Amino acid sequence: MVNLKHEARRDTLPSMLFMVIERFKASDTKAIGERFKRNGRMLPEGVIYHASWMDSNGTRCFQIMEAAGQELLDLWISRWNDLVDFEVIPVLTSSEFWARAEIRAT
């Protein structure tokens, strides 16, 4: 089970969670798999991978990533964007969303 609780540390910016949807260009899973086996995820420092899921056709991947800001994800995306189209969506856990909603309501 993935633990998505994260705490702000004194020496870093608070982290944000992102849902990253990858769409494989030309459904080319072979080239993506080969690069991943050769180089790994190629994440820059400060980006944390939590979990991923594939659609049943193998043409899209859904990932939860954590970083201080999207600009760090943009660096990672630049390492893959010749093979993959990306959609990045900032997300909150349900408990974070409802806690913020409660604060706004008071």
Q: Where are the domains of the chain?
A: 16-105
Residue 105's pLDDT is 86
**Strand pairing report for 16-24 and 48-54:** unpaired
- Which CATH number is 16-105 given? 3.30.70.920
Print burial letters for 44-71: b (CB count within 10 Å at least 16), e (below 16): eebbeeeeeeeeeeeebbebbbbbeeee
- Asked if pLDDT for residue 4 goes beyond 70, the answer is no
Phi-psi region of 19 (alpha: psi -120 to 50; beta: other; left: phi over 0): beta
- pLDDT-based confidence at residue 6 (cuts at 50, 70, 90): very low
pLDDT digits (tens, 9 = 90+) for 10-57: 455 568 999 999 999 998 899 999 999 999 999 999 999 999 999 999
Short-list 53, 85, 81, 88, CA closest to 67: 88
Per-residue pLDDT reduced to its tens digit, 89-98? 999 999 999 9
